[in-house]
Amino acid sequence: MYALDALGLHWDAEVVYQRQHLEYYEAAFMQLINNNVVYRCTCSRNNSEALICPGSCREKIVSDVMPYAWRVKTDQRTISFYDEGHGLIQHTLDTQYGDFIIKRKERLFAYQLAIVLDNYLQGVTYVMCDCDVINSMPNKFIYNHF
């Protein structure tokens, strides 16, 4: 924040930290569990982060003893939105991204869940972002489950 301030970039509302939203993340996460949208995954980072996750843990029974992450079950639906700079953006999550992590083995909520809740809780209706984020489609998928 000091760097932003030094660059003359100032915020027009109270600064909100993600730690202030933890109870909302947890409630949303529990809703995803209750809706059977997520599952436990024991894959290591080496074989789960580099490639599209094939969902091989979907049917596994994972005990509480082993460390596990939580993944969202993606499907063949096409998710789309209109971007003022790039036009209509469409993605099919299961083939382009695979089942993505929503809660890490370290029990930290992943960006994909946090950004959805942060935007909702702050009333964000318009997002300006760089091109690398425009393809971050998994979080748009989560919107469909609340």
Residues of the shown chain interacting with Zn ion in the complex, contacts defined by CB under 5 A: 41, 43, 57
Give the residue with the Cβ less far from Zn ion, 57 or 110: 57
Query: 38-41 and 78-83 as β-strands: parallel, antiparallel, unpaired?
Result: unpaired
In whole angstroms, the minimum distance from the beta carbon of 1 to Zn ion comes to 37
Q: Are 42 and 60 in contact (CB under 8 A)?
A: yes
In whole angstroms, the minimum distance from the beta carbon of 40 to Zn ion comes to 8
CB count within 10 Å of CB 93 equals 22
Closest CA to 141 of 85, 75, 68: 75
Give the residue with the Cβ less far from Zn ion, 43 or 113: 43
Assigned token pair, 141: 């998928």
Give the residue with the Cβ less far from Zn ion, 98 or 134: 98
